[in-house]
Amino acid sequence: MQAKDYAPTMLGSALSGTLARLPTHPLDTLKARLQTLRAGSMAAGARPPSALELLRTIARTEGLRGLYRGLGVTLTLGPFASVLYFTGYEGSRDALKRALPGAPAALSHLSAGLIAEALSCVLFVPVDVIKERMQVQGGRPAGAGTTYYTGTVHAITSIYRGEGLAGVYRGYWATVGSFGPFSALYFAFYEAAKAAYLGHAGPEAPRGAAQMPFWASLLSGASAGAAASVLTNPLDLVKLRLQVQRGGAGLDFGYTGLIQGLRRMAAEEGLRAMMRGAGTRVAFHTPTTAISMALFETCKDAVATSMGRR
């Protein structure tokens, strides 16, 4: 396949990534706040707040703006990251299928998911670092000596001046190590659901880039996103903590890497802590991946049709 044949994929991914993030960003903010809670930071015998309790607190003390902190950088750089992600996945998947024609389809889907994540992290990591630091800092400065980010531009310049490029890319390998498995599992689950639908629909299955009706892509994306979210929650939790430590909220978990972070969290907070924020993560990724994939397939098909490729 020539590079120009990926134009529908590029346009479809840019549109779908933007539209999917708008309604689900508050859930991402809740997840970030929940995952940065530590047992040692709460009073003896106190339990962590539930997602609903935290939602009420943010709404009361910070308003709607508090739930949408970090949205600016997501909408600015996010579409470009989505283009790298989906184009990287389809390009890698197609190349692997040509190179290994007899290999199981799941192998190419898993491998392509990992490759797509590694490529797109060049943009996704700066987005995550800036977004997450703004999400966890709350509505007002935490105290003297703590950097409080007033907006996207201020966050970018403050992080770069204070920590250099390493700060902007903090947690890069942890992101690849956490979202790599997520993307691998997600695409494997989604492609399996897609194959199952097409096999069941038989000759009546619709043709085109999507090859599935909108509702089928929606359900396949939702189920794949939910399953991958639960299975990789501990990795995501440590990744997020790595990226926000020494950030605007003055957080310092003492993590130096993904494995060390997992061990330290288990030792200090127990194994149950590894699933902190899992419910909110599923609540965020389920609609996000459902909307993103359904819109991606639909937009890609529409663009391909308008370009005379269907």
Per-residue pLDDT tens digits for 101-149: 888 999 999 999 999 999 999 999 999 999 999 999 876 655 555 688 8
Q: Are residues 71 and 27 in contact, defined by beta-carbon separation less than 8 angstroms?
A: no
- Between CA 222 and CA 10 the distance in angstroms is 22
Taking residue 168's Cβ as centre, other Cβ atoms within 10 Å add up to 15
Which residue in 80, 107, 64, 72 sits closest to 17, CA to CA? 80
Comparing 198 with 133, the larger pLDDT belongs to 133
- Between CA 186 and CA 119 the distance in angstroms is 16
What are the pLDDT digits (tens) for 41-79?
A: 554 456 778 889 999 999 999 999 999 999 999 999 999
Q: Are residues 273 and 39 in contact, defined by beta-carbon separation less than 8 angstroms?
A: yes
Q: Are residues 24 and 71 in contact, defined by beta-carbon separation less than 8 angstroms?
A: no
Side chain identity at residue 192, one-letter code: A
Grade residue 308 by pLDDT with cuts at 50, 70 and 90: low
- Between CA 110 and CA 266 the distance in angstroms is 28
Which residue in 237, 220, 221 sits closest to 285, CA to CA? 221
Looking at domain 3-306, its CATH superfamily turns out to be Mitochondrial carrier domain (1.50.40.10)
Which residue in 269, 270, 294, 107 sits closest to 218, CA to CA? 294
Range of weakest confidence among 21-25, 158-162, 225-229, 306-310: 306-310
